[in-house]
Amino acid sequence: MVRKTLKNIVFILTLRCDHASRLLSYSQEAPLNRAERWALYFHLLICRMCRKYKKQLKLMRDILGRLTESRLYDIVAPSLMTEEQAQALQGRISKKIRENLDSM
Amino acid sequence: MSGENKSTGSAHQNIDRLVHQHAETLYFYALMRVGKQDLAEDIVQDTLLAALQSWQSFAGDSSERTWLIGILRHKILDFFRQHRSQESVDDQSWKKEYFDKTKHWKDKTVNWKADPEVLVENVEFWKILQDCLKELSKVMAQAFVMREMEGISSEEICKHLEISQTNLWVRLHRARLQLRRCLELNWFI
């Protein structure tokens, strides 16, 4: 018991950025245990880089989570592809679909 | 649009309209997730073909676009499953890429000032994001796309890709570090 407590205290006091960044990432998947939470808490108090990383992770998740909105693709598509490229794409896809349907 | 006619004749009539209205949107949706143009095109073609073949099952209570995106998402997940890998990604050597000997960050990070709502409608940002996602290796990208873009739970992804939770978490962790660096260097600095 004492040994375990000591081990946790050492863990909490010696956590460094490589491990802290991992805990920040894992905390997006499942709750951390108590020692991990304390270790991260103290590390974030003293580490500006990891504080920034925490915010960046949140922002990345926010941005990527929005990419299920299909209206976004309508907004950006015309700028990512010229009219000719779009028509060529449509032509190739129509052609392949017809071939597939005909061969059935 | 009537959903009564099951013959390929009616499917044929729908091809041009469907392709015209949806192909580009579906294509960019797929491209963001699979990274390669030819793959995205194949997946869109499969999606529209499947849609035409199951036309009668389209109830019309959701929009046609929503229905097609639903099929597309399934096709993308199928594709990931077909190309899954049990490869272990925790060989430790990758950590040197991001952390120095004292286990501190190698990168000097900046604060990211951005409104996500505005950012996702910015075409220049899209190009950077697409390029950064393309640089993720296949095993990282699959896991990351399923988790962050498709919002699928860790448990479901592990089942789908037949990998352990530890394996998935390391993939996600590495993908996040890599994407962070890429976005910062190419956009936020």
Determine the residue type at A19.
H
Chain B nearest CA to A99, separation (Å): 10
How confident is the model at residue B10, as a pLDDT? Answer: 61
Taking the C-alpha atoms of residue A24 and residue B105, their distance in angstroms, rounded to an integer, is 14
Global pTM reads 0.91
How confident is the model at residue B129, as a pLDDT? Answer: 96
Token pair belonging to B45: 């073609």
Chain B nearest CA to A11, separation (Å): 14
Match domain B8-82 to its CATH number in 1.10.10, 1.10.1740, 3.30.70, 3.30.200: 1.10.1740
How confident is the model at residue B7, as a pLDDT? Answer: 44
Identity of the residue in B49, B109, B110 whose CB atom sits nearest the CB atom of A100: B49
B149·A65 Cβ contact <8 A: yes
Sequence ranges of the domains in chain B = 8-82, 95-188
- Per residue in A42-72, pLDDT tens? 999 999 999 999 999 999 999 999 999 989 9
Nearest-CA neighbor of B34 among B168, B120, B130?
B130
Sort out which chain A residues have CB atoms less than 8 A from B25's CB and list them. Answer: 70, 73-74, 77
Are residues B70 and B106 in contact, defined by beta-carbon separation less than 8 angstroms? no
How confident is the model at residue B53, as a pLDDT? Answer: 87
Are residues B151 and A65 in contact, defined by beta-carbon separation less than 8 angstroms? yes
Q: Which CATH class is domain B95-188?
A: mainly alpha
Residues with pLDDT less than 70, chain B: 1-11
Residues with pLDDT less than 50, chain A: none
- Per residue in B95-124, pLDDT tens? 999 999 999 999 988 999 999 999 999 999
Are residues B6 and A54 in contact, defined by beta-carbon separation less than 8 angstroms? no
